Structure 1
Amino acid sequence: MAMGRVKMIQEIYSFEAYEDFIREIAADADFRDPHFTYHESNLYRSLENPHARAYITTENGAVTGLFAWLLLPEEQYIELLVGLAKSESPFREMLTFLEKAYPHCQMDFILNPRNGAFCRVLEQKGSTFDAEQIKMRWERAVVPIRPHDILPLTPEWEEAYHARHERETYWTADKILAARDRFRVFIAVKGRELIGYIDVTYGYEENEPYALWVDEKYAGQGYEQSLLAVAAAQNASHDLIAFVGADDAAGIEIYRAAGFSAMAGQNHIYATYHP
């Protein structure tokens, strides 16, 4: 009598025994994981976090998938740190396992847009997807087009900064200003008018602009490039990365003009699943 397929999910506590499987997936542009491609420590050091867990899926004893997760059931939140598999079945099995073990938890994912297997599983479960993003890194200093119009935010400009700042966001102007140990703010000024700003983290190994805005009356006149160039120069001893819509040709060109380059293999899609 022919035996059926035996599929299992097993928690693991190190990755050493699965190095061949990890390398096989990481070498395949259609299935590699953006977090792993960017920095392998996102997998190999993931279990240093007490809230992280790692699992493999197997079929008849052969490894079919390897996953590292951040599990915060008290916050009803789960985040995929790294997910490696080449077919739908491991992704579906892993999600079904988590749904049962951690009911009602929101799950967030950063996906390789070429990984159709994972995308299909999430689509079938009714997940929501953001537009594809390009990850860009600052690699070269450039001269700001309008250097004399870019200033660090000072108290005299804070009222104007509040008035202009986006409100439909977690990082409001109040929160940015209350977190000066994390953020720098630069503004673009024309005469006595604040016409642009950038909120950017600093002091981390990898920093990121959280907001870049220029009044539409002055768009395309070099203020975006100048804000980015000044912020990048102030961050020169650390990495500065940015995420730009893959279809946003104008936005990509602004970042390129400020010294950023697209990172190969780092395009991604953000997805959220609510069981």
Structure 2
Amino acid sequence: MAKKSLAKKTPKETSKKAASNTPAPFDAKNLAHTAIFEHAEKRDHVGSFISVEFDDENRVATYLFNANLAGYKGWRWCVTVAKVDADATPTVCDLVVLPGPDALLAPEWIPYRDRILPGDVGVGDIVPSSLDDARLVPGQSALPQDEDLDTAMAVELGFGRARVMSIEGRDQAAKRWYDGDRGPQAPLAQAAPKPCHSCGFFLPIAGSLRATFGVCANAISPDDARVVSVDHGCGAHSEATFTDLVIN
């Protein structure tokens, strides 16, 4: 009489047998997509497909779609679909909206001095200055050490002030002004009869920006009391005459 083998099956053999009994993954993407459409208030609330994950027995699938919902940036539609056996029809078990990996993260912190915008400073507001502001240098750095300066020149270069604008700071200001609404490309300047540098109301500013900018002093000009480029212009030019007008 033959003896029965008492050898135990190895884990590898057991896993192979279990794998052979596990059904293949099923496709219920369209079913999940349709379920979200039926639940969402608007069709455009349903975004693109992200991924699908199955359980160990390939009987339960979790489908993820982007959720385009106001106030829910980074959230996903999550649909759980089950199929009890190979012959069964997939059925939706659950449908929820869940946060994605980045949904609950606070935005990267930006220092206040980098967030403040023109117009944010109002009456009584104080914006603390920074000692490492690249736009500023110590006042004595602006004074030539090998020249005898009179009082007017020393004051213009910054004598008496703790800090003055650096070359980088002046370059930033010049570019901002020249590319802005009071530079040569502004619609107002494009339609002007003559440029600012030939206007009697144009007051050149002092310092290294003198050759490029000045201040408008015409009370009826929209740029009155503002810095303008020498090639800016407006219809209130001091030398504008009736011959400069275009009669339609």
TM > 0.5: no
TM-score (norm 1): 0.17
Higher strand share: 1
- Which has more radius of gyration? 2
More helix by share: 1
